[in-house]
């Protein structure tokens, strides 16, 4: 039995979704965030970094969303339902699988950090902290986020999904950065393809079952 160590309102939603797409049975161990929104210290008993998601499968512990996705698809997707079979789209699949955490999430995390940092500084320096964070966000971070959003829109206009004309695990990996990116920025460009893609993935039965198992998820359609 696969055990998923699931932190609420986190990227761990993608693991539940992937397991549901694969039709696998799993046990869910749910963790609530601390008042400071960080993961509880009990997660360090599972993995030294105390992060989620983490899965256990027959005594094997796998951390990192991308690594978990590759592990589960390689081991359990024997029919190749969640990955492209042709070389070009498989190359795209591999790119987006790693891009999601390697390129997209760092800049989105920077935006999150700079948005909450002023409220966590001493009162006397709060105005200075706000000014610095706003300047960094406006001039450095938001332009990068907009570049990523424009990139997603262009890619999705090609086929409707990130790795060709069929849904794949790359779309599962990309769900969190896209949902978080659209949620956290005012974008003045076209996002029609992104909107259609989000509607398509959120309507999948496996996506909905993952919400039912994991509970509230900030970026889901039902909790937006």
pLDDT at residue 185, as a whole number: 72
Strand ranges inside the chain, DSSP E? 2-7, 26-31, 54-57, 60-63
Could you tell me the residue ranges of all domains in the chain?
2-76, 87-204
Q: What confidence tens digit (pLDDT) does each residue in 87-105 have?
A: 999 999 999 999 999 999 9
DSSP-derived pairing of the beta strands 26-31 and 60-63: unpaired
Q: What confidence tens digit (pLDDT) does each residue in 25-44 have?
A: 999 998 888 887 778 888 88
- Given CATH 2.30.30.230, say whether it is the number of domain 2-76: no
What architecture is the 87-204 domain classified under in CATH? Up-down Bundle (1.20)
pLDDT at residue 222, as a whole number: 34
Whose tokens are 């320096």? That residue is 125
More confident: 76 or 121: 76
For the entire predicted model, the pTM comes to: 0.90
50: burial class by Cβ within 10 Å (0-12, 13-18, 19+)?
middle
């Amino acid at each position: 039995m696969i055990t998923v160590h699931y932190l609420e309102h986190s990227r761990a939603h993608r693991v539940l979704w992937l397991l549901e797409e694969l039709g696998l049975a799993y046990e869910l161990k749910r963790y609530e965030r601390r008042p400071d929104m960080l993961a509880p210290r009990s997660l360090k008993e599972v993995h030294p970094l105390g992060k989620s998601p983490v899965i256990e499968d027959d005594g094997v512990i796998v951390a990192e969303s991308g690594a978990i996705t590759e592990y589960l698809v390689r081991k359990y997707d024997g029919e190749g339902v969640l990955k492209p079979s042709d070389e070009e789209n498989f190359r795209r699949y591999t790119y987006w699988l790693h891009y999601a955490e390697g390129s997209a999430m760092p800049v989105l995390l920077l935006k999150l950090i700079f948005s909450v940092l002023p409220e966590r500084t001493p009162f006397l320096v709060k105005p200075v902290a706000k000014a610095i964070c706003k300047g960094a966000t406006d001039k450095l971070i938001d332009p990068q986020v907009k570049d990523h959003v424009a990139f997603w829109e262009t890619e999705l206009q090609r086929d409707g999904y990130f790795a060709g004309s069929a849904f794949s695990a790359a779309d599962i990996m990309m769900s969190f950065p896209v949902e978080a990116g659209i949620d956290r920025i005012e974008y003045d460009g076209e996002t029609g393809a992104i909107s259609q893609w989000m509607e398509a993935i959120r309507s999948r039965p496996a996506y909905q079952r993952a919400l039912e198992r994991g509970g509230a998820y900030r970026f889901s359609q039902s909790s937006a």
